Chain A
Amino acid sequence: MAETTIAPTTARAGGIRRRTDAARTALARSVLLHIVMVLGALAMFFPFYWTVVTSLSPGSGLSSTPSLIPADPSIEAYQRLFADLPFARVVGNSLLLATVTTLAQLFTSATAAYAFSRLPFRGRTVVFGIYLATMMIPLQVLVVPLFAELRAWGLVDTYLGALLPTLAAAFGVFLLRQAMNQVPFELDEAAAIDGAGHFRTFWTVILPNIRPALATLAVFAFMGSWNSFLWPLVVLRSPELQTLPVALAGLQGQYTTQWDIVMAGSVVSILPMLAIYLFAQKYVIQGVANTGLK
């Protein structure tokens, strides 16, 4: 990355430069920085572009590299994808699991966050600490016993088996608790005077006041599920139950050299996330930025 070297340097304090000169160099630097940043963005974007181009260039494989602008674009790869494989089913599986996971995490996180923000009880700090600790446990440690547990319950290779471990996540509890702590307690008190119990306060006072945090969590939960790989790989075995990432990884083995098909599958997997991202970019970027600020 060469950007750093181009960022504006100020004239030395003792330099005897005329104002116009300084303005001119500043302008030149600014133009250069813009050019570098745009080129950088193009480079970052290129893999996406290339994925789409490849998916539209049938026969991209062992011997041919697609041309930069497809001369004869065709959706043949997409047709084959949906004809040869239960690909529509796979997309549906991913949508179903991501939707249920998102709704469940919104519910479980919001209720827990309310308890940690508004309901004092003995040992609350300890319980909250345990919640936070679960965030540090890597999924890899859990995979073997989880697999055994769900197999004992007869849930391997079922939607429920894929879903159960994703219903609650401490990250969401943490995120929503932070947001709830920002909601003035006077609002609760006013509601209490109006005769509202905790459930009504939770629903009509707190939740409407943390909508941005709920949106952030919804996007992250959906994205986490949509892109998750290890657990679905382990628990979902039949082709018609697989999710997109797992099916894509399998696709690669099946069509080793048919890159147009593999890239078409990748495009299908990116599109829904892209749509959500364009729609909720603010919440996604804000969510990431906030995690760094504590």
Chain B
Amino acid sequence: MTALIGEAAADVGADAGPPASRTGPPRSPGRRARRARYTLTVLAFLLPSAVPLLLFVLGPMVAAAWISLTEWNLLAPAEWVGLENYANLLTDPETADVFLHTLYYIVGYLPLVYVGGLAIALALNTALRGRTVLRGVYFLPVITSWIVVALVWRWLLNPSNGVVNSVLAWFGIDGPGWWTDPAWAMPSIILASAWKDLGFVMVILLAGLQAIDPELLDAARVDGAGWWRRLFSVTLPLLSPATFFVIVISLINGFQVFDQVYAMTGGGPGGATQVVVQQIYDLTFRYGRAGEASALSWLLFVVILAVTVLQIRGQRKWVNYG
């Protein structure tokens, strides 16, 4: 389809003729042909992206709302049930569970990547030899797929002969069962996820650090502020826009956590890591309850939207755009 539109664009381009005004659409009366041509030009530039976004994002978005009001197993015709799916979800204790598991993930993951990423960014922002190489290595996991990350960490954290427990055994420590143990499964996922995203957070914070005027830090130093004092009173306030961005993005991604859960635990053991999106997937493709799954996905979207809006509202209190 885009190919067709691309050809149409080329055709219009071929007879574009005399240059139209560059400051805006031609406005003079009696130049209808020119205006029509301008409209065609705009459409030719816009449609290649507008058509797919309409068909594969906005359309399905609306369809999801409709599906969420039906009972549907993906095969038989959908049956209208009104708000029943939402009512069921809101009263089902399982819903609270999957949101709590997701929250557990976020609460474990976010401080880990933020503090870790900040520490690395601060170190890389000093006169360090081999900075570029070090930055490249810390960033490396970011380009790896979640599935590979999950598989590699499943192996590293293998309870019987994974390298982590082998090393722990040298020190006489009997390592836990990691992803096979309900108590340790979520920490395992958090650890793997933090490893992957540390470099992403580091690069964003490093860019923020590099934008800080060194004179401000020098002034604080002259005033006798120690390293910690300068960190908390100068660096962190000036870094707050980057911090804000990291938190917003991490929360959005955190609520949508799925790939690594699917490949590491599949929601187990015993449902200990059943997060919201895993539940959406299972409801749809394992239990054939697509209506409920759509309702849950809308619920998730609303939660994400609310959390994001709250953060944008609240940013005035602590984010300093200098």
Contact = CB atoms under 8 A, between A and B. Distances in A.
Interface of A: 1-4, 6-10, 12-14, 30, 33-34, 36-38, 40-41, 44-45, 47-48, 50-51, 54, 62-65, 104, 107-109, 111-112, 114-115, 118-121, 127, 130-131, 134, 136-149, 164-165, 167-168, 170, 173, 185, 188-189, 192-193, 195-200, 202, 223, 226-227, 229-230, 234, 244-246, 248-249, 252, 259, 262-263, 265-266, 269-270, 273-274, 276-277, 281, 284-285, 288-294
B226 to A, nearest CB: 6
Interface stretch (B80-88, B89-97, B181-189, B291-299): B291-299
B152 A263 contact: yes
Nearest to A170: B53
Given A34-B128, A50-B152, A144-B284, A7 B195 contact: no
A120 B16 contact: no
A285 B156 contact: no
B122 A3 contact: yes
- Max chain A C-beta neighbours (<10 A), residue from B126, B144, B207: B144
B126 A33 contact: yes
Contacts of B148: 245, 248, 266, 269-270
Contact of B74 (A62, A139, A148): A148
Contact of A115 (B20, B45, B116, B195): B45
Contact of B60 (A3, A119, A142): A142
B234 interface: no
Given A230-B258, A249-B262, A140 B280 contact: yes
B168 interface: no
Contacts of A223: 143
Contact of B63 (A134, A140, A149): A149
B172 interface: no
Given A9-B227, A148-B290, A244-B145, 16 more contacts: A4-B122, A10-B226, A45-B137, A47-B152, A111-B49, A138-B304, A141-B297, A141-B298, A143-B280, A145-B60, A147-B74, A199-B16, A226-B145, A248-B148, A273-B145, A292-B208
A138 B70 CA distance: 21
B119 to A, nearest CB: 4
A65 B169 CA distance: 13
B126 A7 contact: yes
B238 interface: no
Contact of B160 (A62, A136, A199, A276): A62
Given A9-B226, A65-B163, A195 B134 contact: no
B57 interface: yes
Contacts of B208: 292-293
Contacts of B138: 40-41, 44
A8 B120 contact: no
Contact of A142 (B16, B57, B263): B57
A34 B285 CA distance: 50
Interface of B: 2, 6, 9-10, 12-13, 16-20, 22-25, 38-39, 41-42, 44-46, 48-53, 55-61, 63-64, 67, 74, 115-116, 118-120, 122-124, 126-130, 134-148, 151-156, 158, 160-163, 166, 195, 198-200, 203-208, 211, 221-222, 224, 226-227, 231, 241-242, 245-246, 252, 256, 258-259, 262-263, 277, 280-281, 284-285, 290, 293-294, 297-298, 300-301, 304-305, 308
A50 B294 CA distance: 40
Contacts, number: 325
Contact of A33 (B18, B123, B142): B123
Contact of B20 (A198, A234, A259): A198
A141 B64 contact: yes
| Chain B interface, DSSP helix/strand/loop, else mixed | helix
Contacts of B245: 291-292, 294
| Chain A interface, DSSP helix/strand/loop, else mixed | helix
B272 to A, nearest CB: 19
B227 A115 contact: no
Contacts of A8: 126, 227
A200 B9 CA distance: 12
B173 to A, nearest CB: 16
Contacts of A192: 19, 22
A274 B153 CA distance: 19
Nearest to A173: B49
Contacts of B6: 107
Contacts of A193: 19
